[in-house]
Amino acid sequence: MIARRPAAAHLSDQPPYPRRPQRGAASSRTGPAPASPSGVRTRPGPADHGRSRHPRRSAHRILRETMGRTFGRARRRAKRPRRTRPPAPPADNSRSERGPAVESDTAADRAVRTMTLEAFADTIVPGAKRSPEDRAVAGAATSGGAVEAGAIALLETPAAGVVDGLDSLSELLNNHARDYADRTGTALDGTVPPFVALPFAQRTGLVAELVAPGHPEKDGWVALALFSNMAFDTGAHLHTAEAMAAGHPGLRAMRFAEPDADGLWRFPSFSYRRRLARTHPGTTPAGDPA
């Protein structure tokens, strides 16, 4: 005698998937929906999902905070004392000896900072040398790069909010350059800052280490690199019409459209080759809605 296979209903008391309730059947809800304080039952809408309780920080604020943390580490991690220069002799005997010496040191320190930051910007967006004697720009490209686009002017713009930390950042970068030269056996020219003395390939290698994942100072160096990109891509410290008139290398490289004679950009032809909508009669002369 052959035993019959039991029916599927005998194998499990539950259906393989939830059954759809029949029309008119009682709801399985155990209680009423929650009511709002006004007494109206509400359900969470799309606007309630994914809403953060914390205000969104702007990219500018994040950059300032990131650079600030890096500058703080730069002050704490100064590995070598800065070399002191002998005071320059006063040009006029009527002046005190201390006055001209302080001015000379300040000018020399500023020159070191400028050359160091220019070399870093040139590593991010390489450009052509400005003259045969140019040491900061390595000349790895045949056209203008971040330095010619005004990367240093952008960093020193008060609106950037990072000018107070540029001295510490320059010193930290030169300390990294000394260590990198020791590790790679690269001889440095003592007449220029250490990072400037590195050949372009070594500059690139050092910057690649500084922005690599896991480096404790990565966020600060990436933020500094963003300023070089902003200077080349947008000329953020300049009026766009003035930048175009001056031949800004980044805007020229991207073939940015020329403005009209009055410095304004107008677009007389429509992208879809036809007018999609008429201007609202209440629109202000500035183009704002009514």
Nearest to 130 by CA among 115, 110, 111: 115
Token pair recorded at residue 113: 């900072």
Q: Which amino acid is at 259?
A: P
206 is a domain residue: yes
Residue 80 lies in a domain: no
Q: Could you tell me if residue 136 is inside a domain?
A: yes
* Number of structural domains found in the chain: 1
Q: Is the pLDDT of residue 24 over 90?
A: no
Decide if 277 contacts 270 (C-beta within 8 A).
no
Average pLDDT, the chain: 75
pTM of this prediction? Answer: 0.62
Residue 150 forms part of a structural domain: yes
Q: What is the pLDDT of residues 232-267, one digit of tens each?
A: 999 999 999 999 999 999 999 999 988 998 888 888
Which pLDDT score, from 0 to 100, does residue 92 have? 45
- Residue 41 phi/psi, 5-degree rounding, is -70, 135
Whether residue 43 is contained in a domain is answered as no
Domain span holding position 102:
98-253
Residue of 110 and 99 predicted with greater confidence: 110
Q: Is 288 domain-assigned? A: no
Length of the chain: 290
Position 142 in a domain: yes
> Is residue 68 in some structural domain?
no
